[in-house]
């Protein structure tokens, strides 16, 4: 993968970066594994930030009429908790898994567009930083461009925390518009989420092309691991839903900054339009959050049950059906906003129907475990926890599909309980399962099982203590998004329980962090195949070599790796092949010493440069009435433009001289890269 | 790109037989429908709602003028495809000519849009802040105009590369075929906008 | 759309010019229809006609200028999926707003 220096005839802005280790190698990398790792760490840091915000909320709610937070601070904390957990934790950590694993699972050496992958990552990181830069730049004055806005906040509320966005992660209009949310906080929210969406949109194109185009020989679509299938489905959902929120956020930014009237009710703007656009995106979004976790669990359960996934095709089809139907249920978030009875009936029906493919998956996972020889590793425990908690969350979800029942539940803690059961009990448990399962791929070591069990049980107990009581609090009528409740409401006890549970969750997360930190250096070495796994990412050494596969694999069946190790006896039970150990040794050998030279995408400065221009434009837009703002826009655009120009001039790989193959037969006009590509 | 061509191509291949970048471009374009669809939907929602501050967009369209600039954009698709065709024949000179022609037709369209916006704002008094229908009109056509602008910039960059290096290789990073796909897409979106927004425009009864 | 199996001969420049003339004629018809409707009310017939003409132009540009007719079906599947999804989603949305209505 070292490349030969050679003068290139084309224009460049920078010389090509050369370091392969150290700080600059991470800044300039185009390696999907490094990018995945960076995504993972950044997402985890945001998880901690979002978690701290959640703890602040829980402390405030632990007793009636608490004065721990002001109302403004409470609003800001729940807004940023939701925004952070959705856009800065679950989505990017899913991106981390997909980045790291997708090429490995399809037998590829990288994604289709390695530098665009780096671009996605940097835009995400800078978008997250931009969003939180509101802590520094928050300006309580009226947003620019809107005249005569009196502002409705008590100046005493202008604390640092209270200066964060406070319109909810859903940013309902007109509440989050210029009149009811003066200041710049919601502009940071709108533009920040816009940038994060851009990052995801680029990723989605990249992943789709990777899955369609870069599968190893024999890796037919129906031989792909379920995680890859779910990644494809998620990428399609992102591809088709992000544009909708992008436009909606543009509209908000224009309303707030340039005085357009999309959601300004006094001028005839329609706030319901925002709800439609938001939930047209927002409902596919919840599947974007959950499907990667479903993919992870579909990999973990078969391995630790020593059985193939029950009904592979059904799981795949159910995943695709969820994605398709996920676009047809958005208005169930709007049952109480006065949409017509016909629309209510239609969306209630479609919402109930979408429970069917989800149920299919649950039965498939149970069928996988049924009669298997279960090994209760931490990863497996989290996977089982996922299935159990997701069933609870799914069933409470079906209760919202019933319109009259939904009218009772809307805006109560019952809803909060529901979506935390699917997003925490579901997505987060799935993510932890995956972290324990694939940790050896990154480090070559195992996470401690002893600490892992403590980690699981504290999280499991803390999670249920926190969110189960919210079901009955909600049904008793406790409303969401409100900083206070009166003592006579009788909500104190269960709220206190929930707060205690939240701190137990925090303890569980700390155990996990300690485990990670310790096992990275002192964990038990994993060897090539620590779990007796089924999929091709385990046919290469741990930690993954930079070039992934010494020899690109050829796939002959679903669960290809398993069938290389096991045949079955007359009753279908797996029997380890006598040559299995030898196979593993051979794989280790070719994995460490590839027989042929391998060329990898060279690092590049342009992705980070391109991404760095974007928050500059964002700050510029927010402060566009000042000269500094105008200059920032100009500088940002110039940075992006020069990066794009340099990028388009830079080949994917450095030209290199020696190679064991004659390629003079490649016509220069049609010599498309057989490796990644240049876009 | 020769370097990349030297890869183990028995290992790595395009499973679908389609070039990565081309597949990526089509995938991206399919998502662009959702962008423009949302904007057109906003416009359709607001264009006929009674009771807004006047003027409505439908009251002030200058159909002959817009027909002319739409026609320029439509014909730029012809010059674009001729540029692509010339490149396939390795006729670098003709490629450059048609690229420049395409960029110029695109600029005519953009100039027309600038003129149209200026007229609407200063003569007819329809600003972004006049009413929601006007907001929707400006965001939709402005977003499209931004796409055209990007396209013109890419075309000019291609032209510059071609001038500087004497040729355009299909394998170069900024690929003429991809820019062409993008350009045609921007054109077909305008075909839809021209019909739905301009020709089928309707102000509320009693206004227009 | 008919595909010619396994061939890659794209239209010639002359054919491209012919297509452009066709597109120009369709555009002239569109604008003419607009004025006909202004002068004498077409009782709502202008809308379907104009939409039909726009779709025709759309298909011609996509099929020939963008070469989709000559490409792998994977590409047209993606493209059609995005197009149809957008139409359905936004049509349902406009239905809930009552901007478009069924059976009226």
Interface confidence, given as ipTM, is 0.91
Token representation of residue A502? 């939240």
Report the residue of chain A nearest C78, measured CA to CA: A236
pLDDT at C93: 92
Mean residue pLDDT of chain A comes to 89
pLDDT at A151: 47
**C97 vs A270: CB contact, 8 Å cut-off?**
yes
Nearest to C74 among B16, B34, B195 (CB): B16
pLDDT at C7: 45
A240 in contact with C at a CB cutoff of 8 Å? Answer: yes
Whole-angstrom Cα distance, residue A399 to residue A383?
25
Q: What tens digit of pLDDT does each residue of A642-677 get?
A: 999 888 877 766 554 434 333 333 333 322 233 333
pLDDT at B7: 39
Q: What tens digit of pLDDT does each residue of C71-99 get?
A: 888 899 999 999 999 999 999 999 988 87
Under an 8 Å CB criterion, which residues of C touch A? 74, 82, 85, 89, 92-93, 95-98
B17 in contact with C at a CB cutoff of 8 Å? Answer: yes
Using DSSP bridges, classify how beta strands A566-568 and A574-576 pair: parallel, antiparallel or unpaired: antiparallel
Question: What percent of chain A stands above pLDDT 70?
Answer: 90
Contacts 24+ apart (CB under 8 A), A438-442: A438/A97, A438/A100, A438/A101, A438/A537, A439/A516, A439/A519, A439/A523, A440/A526, A440/A530, A440/A542, A440/A543, A441/A100, A441/A101, A441/A104, A441/A537, A441/A538, A441/A542, A441/A543, A441/A544, A442/A33, A442/A37, A442/A100, A442/A543, A442/A544
Average pLDDT value for residue range A591-603: 84
Q: What tens digit of pLDDT does each residue of A175-202 get?
A: 898 888 888 889 999 999 999 999 999 9
- Output the CA torsion A473→A479→A483→A485 (10° steps): -60
The residue with tokens 């229809």 is C33
pLDDT at A679 over 70: no
A112 in contact with B at a CB cutoff of 8 Å? Answer: yes
Q: What tens digit of pLDDT does each residue of A295-305 get?
A: 999 999 999 99
**C89 vs A212: CB contact, 8 Å cut-off?**
no
pLDDT at C104: 44
pLDDT at A162: 81
User: With contacts defined as CB-CB under 8 Å, which chain C residues touch A280?
Assistant: 89, 93
pLDDT confidence band for A25 (50 / 70 / 90) = confident
Whole-angstrom Cα distance, residue A478 to residue B71?
60
Chains that touch A (3 or more CB pairs under 8 A): B, C
**A212 vs C74: CB contact, 8 Å cut-off?**
yes
A–C: how many Cβ contacts below 8 A?
A: 21
Whole-angstrom Cα distance, residue A63 to residue A414?
19
pLDDT at A311 over 50: yes
Mean residue pLDDT of chain B comes to 88
Least confident residue range of A53-62, B45-54, B63-72: B45-54
Tell me which H or E stretch contains A568. Answer: strand A566-568
pTM value?
0.92
User: With contacts defined as CB-CB under 8 Å, which chain A residues touch B131?
Assistant: 261, 267-268
**CB-based burial, B85-97: b 16+ in 10 Å, e otherwise:** bbbeeeebebbbb
pLDDT at A600: 81
pLDDT at A263 over 90: yes
pLDDT at A667: 35
Q: What is the 3-state secondary structure (H, E, C) of A353-366?
A: HHHHHHHHHHHHHH
Average pLDDT value for residue range A276-300: 95
B81 in contact with C at a CB cutoff of 8 Å? Answer: yes
Phi, psi of A575 (to 5 degrees): -125, 125
Higher pLDDT, A320 or C41: A320
The residues in A 270-329 lying below 8 A from C, measured between CB atoms, are 270, 272-273, 276, 280, 327-328
pLDDT at A570: 83
Nearest to B85 among C16, C23, C75 (CB): C16
Average pLDDT value for residue range C43-70: 91
pLDDT at A8 over 80: no
User: With contacts defined as CB-CB under 8 Å, which chain C residues touch A274?
Assistant: none
Whole-angstrom Cα distance, residue A460 to residue A478?
24
For A444: left if phi > 0, alpha if psi spans -120 to 50, otherwise beta; the answer is left
Higher pLDDT, A289 or A18: A289
Least confident residue range of A334-348, A649-663, B61-75: A649-663
Token representation of residue A186? 């919601």
Nearest to C20 among B30, B78, B191 (CB): B78
Q: What is the CATH code for B17-199?
A: 1.20.120.80
Token representation of residue A2? 């070292």
**B15 vs A551: CB contact, 8 Å cut-off?**
no
pLDDT at A203 over 70: yes
pLDDT at A492 over 80: yes
Report the residue of chain B nearest A549, measured CA to CA: B11
Report the residue of chain C nearest A279, measured CA to CA: C93
pLDDT at C31 over 60: yes
pLDDT at A18: 64
Higher pLDDT, A121 or B166: A121
Other CB atoms within a 10 A radius of the CB of residue C20 amount to 21
Tell me which H or E stretch contains A255. Answer: helix A226-258
Report the residue of chain B nearest C71, measured CA to CA: B18
B205 in contact with C at a CB cutoff of 8 Å? Answer: no
Q: What tens digit of pLDDT does each residue of A414-468 get?
A: 999 999 999 999 999 999 999 999 999 999 999 999 999 999 999 999 999 999 9
Nearest to B135 among A219, A260, A677 (CB): A260
pLDDT confidence band for B150 (50 / 70 / 90) = very high
A46 in contact with B at a CB cutoff of 8 Å? Answer: no
pLDDT at A21 over 80: no
pLDDT at B102: 97
Nearest to B131 among A267, A649, A659 (CB): A267
pLDDT at B55 over 80: yes
pLDDT at C63: 93
Phi, psi of B62 (to 5 degrees): -110, 90
Q: What's the gap in Å between the CA of A268 and the closest CA on chain C? A: 14
Q: What tens digit of pLDDT does each residue of A35-69 get?
A: 999 999 999 999 999 999 999 999 999 999 999 99
pLDDT at B205: 62
pLDDT at A430: 97
Nearest to A674 among B12, B37, B129 (CB): B12
pLDDT confidence band for C4 (50 / 70 / 90) = very low
B165 in contact with C at a CB cutoff of 8 Å? Answer: no
pLDDT confidence band for B78 (50 / 70 / 90) = very high
Nearest to C93 among A240, A276, A340 (CB): A276
Q: What's the gap in Å between the CA of B41 and the closest CA on chain A? A: 10
């Amino acid at each position: 993968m070292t490349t030969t220096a050679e003068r290139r005839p084309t224009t460049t802005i920078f010389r090509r970066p050369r370091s392969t280790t150290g700080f600059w190698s991470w800044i300039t990398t185009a390696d999907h594994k490094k990018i995945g790792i960076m995504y993972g760490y950044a997402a985890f840091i945001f998880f901690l930030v979002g978690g701290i915000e959640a703890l602040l909320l829980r402390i405030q709610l632990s007793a009636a009429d608490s004065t721990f937070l002001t109302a403004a601070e409470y609003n800001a904390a729940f807004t940023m908790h939701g925004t952070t957990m959705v856009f800065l934790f679950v989505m990017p950590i899913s991106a981390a898994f997909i980045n790291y694993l997708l090429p490995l699972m399809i037998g590829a050496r990288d994604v289709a567009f390695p530098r665009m992958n780096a671009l996605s990552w940097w835009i995400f990181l800078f978008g997250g930083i931009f969003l939180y830069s509101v802590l520094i730049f928050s300006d309580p004055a009226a947003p620019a461009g809107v005249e005569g806005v009196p502002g409705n906040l008590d100046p005493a509320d202008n604390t640092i925390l209270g200066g964060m966005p406070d319109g909810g992660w859903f940013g309902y209009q007109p509440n989050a518009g210029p009149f009811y949310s003066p200041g710049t906080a919601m502009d940071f929210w709108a533009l920040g989420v816009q940038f994060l969406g851009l990052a995801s949109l680029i990723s989605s194109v990249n992943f789709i092309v990777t899955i369609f185009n870069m599968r190893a020989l024999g890796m037919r679509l129906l031989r792909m691991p379920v995680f890859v299938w779910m990644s494809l489905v998620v990428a399609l959902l992102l591809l088709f839903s992000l544009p909708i929120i992008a436009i909606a956020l543009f509209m908000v930014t224009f309303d707030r900054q340039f005085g357009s009237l999309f959601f300004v009710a006094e001028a005839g703007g329609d706030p319901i339009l925002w709800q439609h656009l938001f939930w047209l995106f927002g409902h596919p979004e919840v599947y974007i959050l959950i499907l990667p976790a479903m993919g992870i669990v579909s990999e973990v359960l078969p391995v630790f049950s020593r059985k193939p996934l029950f009904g592979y095709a059904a799981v795949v089809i159910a995943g695709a059906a969820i994605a398709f139907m996920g676009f047809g249920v958005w208005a169930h978030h709007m049952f109480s906003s006065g949409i017509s009875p016909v629309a209510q009936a239609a969306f209630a029906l479609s919402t109930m129907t979408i429970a069917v493919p989800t149920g299919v998956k649950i039965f498939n996972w149970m069928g996988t475990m049924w009669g298997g020889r279960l090994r209760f590793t931490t990863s497996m425990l989290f996977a089982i926890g996922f299935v159990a908690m997701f069933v609870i969350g799914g069933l409470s979800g079906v209760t919202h599909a019933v319109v009259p029942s939904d009218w009772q539940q809307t805006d109560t803690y019952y809803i909060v309980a529901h979506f935390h059961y699917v997003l925490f009990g579901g997505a987060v448990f799935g993510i932890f399962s995956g972290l324990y399962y694939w940790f050896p791929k990154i480090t070559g070591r195992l996470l401690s099982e002893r600490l892992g069990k403590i980690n699981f049980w504290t999280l499991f107990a803390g999670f249920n203590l926190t969110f189960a009581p919210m079901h009955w609090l909600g049904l008793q009528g406790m409303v969401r998004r409100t900083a206070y409740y009166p003592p006579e409401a009788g909500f104190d006890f269960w709220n206190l329980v929930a707060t205690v549970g939240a701190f137990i969750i925090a303890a569980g997360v700390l155990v996990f962090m300690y485990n990670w930190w310790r096992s990275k250096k002192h964990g038990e070495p994993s060897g090539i195949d620590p779990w007796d796994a089924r999929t091709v990412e385990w046919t290469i050494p741990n930690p993954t070599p930079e070039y992934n596969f010494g020899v690109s694999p050829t796939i002959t069946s679903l669960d290809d790796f398993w069938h290389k190790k096991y045949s079955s006896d007359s009753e279908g039970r797996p029997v380890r092949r006598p040559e299995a150990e030898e196979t593993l040794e051979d794989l280790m050998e070719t994995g460490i010493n590839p027989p042929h030279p391998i060329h990898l995408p060279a690092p590049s400065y342009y992705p980070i440069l391109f991404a760095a221009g974007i928050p500059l434009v964002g700050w510029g837009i927010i402060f566009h009435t000042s000269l500094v703002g105008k200059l920032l826009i100009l500088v940002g655009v110039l940075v992006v433009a020069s990066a794009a120009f340099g990028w388009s001039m830079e080949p994917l790989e450095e030209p290199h001289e020696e190679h064991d193959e004659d390629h003079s037969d490649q016509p220069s006009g049609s010599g498309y890269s057989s490796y990644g590509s240049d876009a | 790109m020769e370097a990349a061509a030297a890869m183990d191509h028995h290992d790595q291949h395009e499973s679908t037989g389609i070039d990565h970048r081309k597949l990526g471009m089509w995938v991206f374009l399919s998502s662009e429908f959702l962008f423009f669809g949302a904007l057109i939907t906003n416009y359709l929602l607001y264009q006929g709602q009674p009771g807004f501050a006047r003027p409505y967009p439908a009251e002030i369209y200058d159909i002959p003028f817009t027909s002319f600039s739409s026609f320029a954009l439509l014909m730029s698709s012809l010059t674009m495809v001729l540029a692509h065709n010339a490149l396939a024949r390795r006729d670098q000179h003709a490629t450059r000519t048609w690229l420049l022609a395409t960029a110029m037709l695109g600029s005519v369209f953009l100039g027309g849009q600038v003129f149209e916006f200026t007229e609407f704002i200063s003569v007819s008094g329809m600003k972004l802040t006049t009413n929601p229908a006007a907001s929707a009109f400006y965001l939709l056509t402005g977003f499209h105009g931004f796409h055209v602008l990007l396209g013109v910039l890419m075309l000019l960059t291609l032209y510059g590369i071609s001038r500087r290096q004497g040729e355009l290789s299909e394998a170069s990073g900024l690929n003429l075929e991809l820019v062409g796909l993008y350009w045609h897409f921007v054109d077909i979106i305008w075909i839809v906008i021209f019909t739905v927004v301009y020709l089928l425009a309707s102000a509320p009864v009693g206004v227009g | 759309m008919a595909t010619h199996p396994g061939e890659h001969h794209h239209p010639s420049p002359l054919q491209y010019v012919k297509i452009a003339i066709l597109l120009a004629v369709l555009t002239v018809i569109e604008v003419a229809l607009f004025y006909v409707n202004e002068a004498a009310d077409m009782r709502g017939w202008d809308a379907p006609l104009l939409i039909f003409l726009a779709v025709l132009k759309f298909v011609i540009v996509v099929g020939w200028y963008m070469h989709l007719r000559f490409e792998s079906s994977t590409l047209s599947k993606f493209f059609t999926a995005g197009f149809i999804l957008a139409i359905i989603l936004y049509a349902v949305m406009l239905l809930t707003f009552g901007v478009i209505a069924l059976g009226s």
